[in-house]
Every structure is written in structure tokens, then in C-alpha cells.
A = this chain, B = another copy of it.
Amino acid sequence: MTINEKNYAYGASKSSIREIAAYGAARKAQIGAENVFDFSLGNPSIPSPDAVRESIERSLQLPPTQLHSYTPAAGLPFVREKLAASLCRRYGENTAAAGDLYLTCGAAASLSISFHAVVNPGDEVIVIAPYFPEYRVWIETAGATCVEVMADPETFQIDTEAVRAAVTPRTKAVVINSPNNPVGSVYSAQNLAALADVLHEREDALGTAIYLVADEPYREISYGVEVPWVPAIYDRTLVCYSYSKSLSLPGERIGWVLVPPTNPDHDRLVPAIAGAGRSLGFVCAPALFQRVIADCCDVPSDVDAYARNREALTRGLSELGYHYIEPQGAFYLWVKALEPDANAFFERAKSLELLPVPSDSFGCTGWVRIGYCVSYETIVNSMPAWKKLAESYK
């Protein structure tokens, strides 16, 4: 074995989502962009708010040596102060102090760093399926085993009894993602409280500590439902955040990990997060965009365009008789395939130039994900194809 075979495999295997997107791009070139309905990617379609450009322009007035220099590993102190103050305004006093925040190169870094901070080789980390497939990659790279627990098959809320059954003495963490990719569900306060009860009960019974890793890039994108603040419900929480979706900045890689002051292991987790960032090769989050998020952390996300798409998509598919989970957040619709095999359903959709993502990519059978972070026209114009698809099963 000359090189690292595991990382070779991670690089040589393509993400099935990216493969569908690549097919979509090629097909558009072939038959015209307006004839292909590509719902595969989660790339925000609304532009960053003007405040982002204005913030960058303001920063360019600073001396370059100040603007572009190394920052402390956890981020510029004034930036962390501003973010912490914003969190306290939203979720209550004592939600966060500057020293509780560690700025990262986006949510992927936040999650990878969090896993490396808490797990030891042989530990287990529970994910709620369907789930973002990269979770498994980061969990396994941190040396732990990824344990899938299916969400409730009706509501796609967390099946807390299934979580209880999956916890072992080696369970170090549970990852939740709400608003959820791929389902679009938001876990209710009641559901999270039931999860907290289960985890506390298991911690007490097993004499272990179980961390809840809350992956929240879609927190600002919800449709009239409350997205509960997880650390207020469960004490051993780490919050992983990113501005990829809220400010439409996915390419700039900027986010954070919060170790809430109420986490009983706070004083050991803060250095463990910093140490994990250091050991993986993250030196600091990109300096210019640290300043951008300080300026823009209270700028409301423009969810109107997504809300309009959601409305058109759910109304249209409803009328055609499709069954889907009512989307409460994010920009994904989770639609029941019209046959048990989601891949076969996908192939038939594809033959009609419709490109959702089959649920097998997310660790679950029988559904597809429609990413509606596309143009409104794409949704409206896709309806005849969705109609044909439904009719083909009659």
C-alpha cells in the first residue's frame, strides 16, 4: 500500500449528487437549458445581500497588512464579540460569549472539527437518516463508526425510541440537522425535548457523556415555524453554523462552532475544538469574510424567493397526487417515489428531463429530494413533466 487507500477512495468515488448535476449540465448543453429541470444541487439561487458587497468595499479601505493578516486561530476578537452579542439578542442572555465561538472555513470544517474534538477511535456517532452523506466521511475520518437511525417514516421527526435502542457505551455523539437536508423538516421543541430525555437517561444508565452536534446551516431559512435553539433543550450540545445558505456565500467558506457556556464540558471542549482545527490544518477562517459576517450577521436572509418556489412546487405536485413531507425549512422537498425503488423512479424521471436526487444517496429508500433553490420558471415549467411522470404510473 503506497498511498492512503481510504483517501484515494474518497477522491476517486464521485458523489452521486454531483454526478446528477454533471449529467444535468451536459444534457442542458445538448438540448437547451430550458428543457432540463435540474433539482439536484443545494447551491443558493438568491444573491448575497448588498450588505455583503458593501462590507467588502468598506474593508478594502483598511491597510492591507491589517485586513489580510493572520487572525487568532479562533477568529478576530471583535468579530466574535459581535456574533456572540447577536446570538444573545436572539436566544437569550448567556447564549454565547466571544470565547465560546471558534470561526471556521464553513459548516464542513465545523463538523469535521467537532467530530475530531470529541471522538476517539472506536467510538460511535449516530446520524438520523436520511442524512447528508458527507457526515459519514467526516465521522469515519475522525476514527468513529457512523450509526444510522431512521427518522420516523411518517413525520420524519427524530424517532427517539430508535435512538434509545441505538445508544451503546461507545456512543459519543448524535448529529442532528434542522431545518433538515434532505427532508425540509424542522424538529419541534417537543421532539428535541424527547431526544434530550432519551440521551440523559442513557448517559445516566451507562455513565457516559453524549454530545449533540447540531448542524444548522439552514437555521435562517424556515417558513413560519420556530427553529428551536438546541442548547436550551440539551446541555451537551455543540452548534455548527455556516453563512453558506443564510448569506448565499457557500464558496467563501465561513462559519463557526459554538461551545455553549451551559455545556458542562465547556472548559475542555473549547481547547479541544481549537486543537482539532489546528491538527487538521485550519489556521484561521478567511480574514476578509470574518469581517463580512460581523457586518452582516443580523441581515435577514431573503427567503421570499424560496418561499415562492416552495408554494409553486408543493401546490403543483399536490394537484398531481404526489405525496411529500410538508417542507418547514431549508429548500428541499422530500417526495415519495411512485415505486419502491427510488433509483428506478429517478431513471424514469430522468427520461422526462427531471433531475431530483434518489433517497438512497441519503441512506434511505423510496423517496427523492427536489432542491427548489432554482429559478421560479424552472419549477413552473417542470410541471408538465411531473404530470407525465405521474401518469406513466397509472
A1 CA / B285 CA spacing, docked (Å): 29
A275 CA / B138 CA spacing, docked (Å): 11
A117 CA / B106 CA spacing, docked (Å): 22
Is A286 part of the binding interface, using a Cβ–Cβ cutoff of 8 Å? yes
Question: With contacts A56-B56, A69-B250 known, is A118 near B275, CB below 8 A?
Answer: no
A274 CA / B277 CA spacing, docked (Å): 19
**Contact B279 A138, beta carbon cutoff 8 Å:** yes
Question: With contacts A248-B64, A268-B3, A268-B8 known, is A281 near B138, CB below 8 A?
Answer: yes
Chain A stretch 333-372: residues in CB contact (< 8 A) with chain B:
none
**Contact B118 A282, beta carbon cutoff 8 Å:** no
Of the candidates B3, B138, B275, the one whose C-beta lies within 8 Å of that of A117 is B3
Q: Which of A45, A47, A140 has the most CB atoms of chain B within a 10 A radius of its CB?
A: A47
Chain A stretch 57-98: residues in CB contact (< 8 A) with chain B:
57, 60, 63-65, 67-71
**Contact B60 A56, beta carbon cutoff 8 Å:** yes
Of the candidates B67, B105, B250, B274, the one whose C-beta lies within 8 Å of that of A70 is B250
Of the candidates B53, B110, B137, the one whose C-beta lies within 8 Å of that of A64 is B53
Is A280 part of the binding interface, using a Cβ–Cβ cutoff of 8 Å? yes
Residue of B whose beta carbon sits closest to that of A50: B64
Is A294 part of the binding interface, using a Cβ–Cβ cutoff of 8 Å? no
**Contact A120 B10, beta carbon cutoff 8 Å:** no
Determine the chain B residues whose CB is within 8 A of the CB of A287 once the complex forms: 251-252
Of the candidates B11, B52, B65, B277, the one whose C-beta lies within 8 Å of that of A270 is B11
**Contact A52 B69, beta carbon cutoff 8 Å:** no
A60 CA / B53 CA spacing, docked (Å): 7
A53 CA / B65 CA spacing, docked (Å): 12
3 tightest A-B contacts by CB? Answer: A112-B281, A11-B275, A251-B287
Known: A3-B272, A4-B272, A112-B280. 19 other contacts (CB 8 A): A2-B268, A3-B117, A5-B120, A7-B116, A10-B276, A11-B273, A48-B65, A52-B68, A65-B248, A68-B250, A68-B252, A105-B281, A105-B286, A108-B281, A110-B281, A112-B281, A134-B278, A251-B287, A253-B283
Task: Supply 7 A–B pairs (Cβ within 8 Å), ascending by A.
Answer: A11-B276, A43-B70, A46-B65, A68-B251, A105-B283, A141-B280, A288-B288
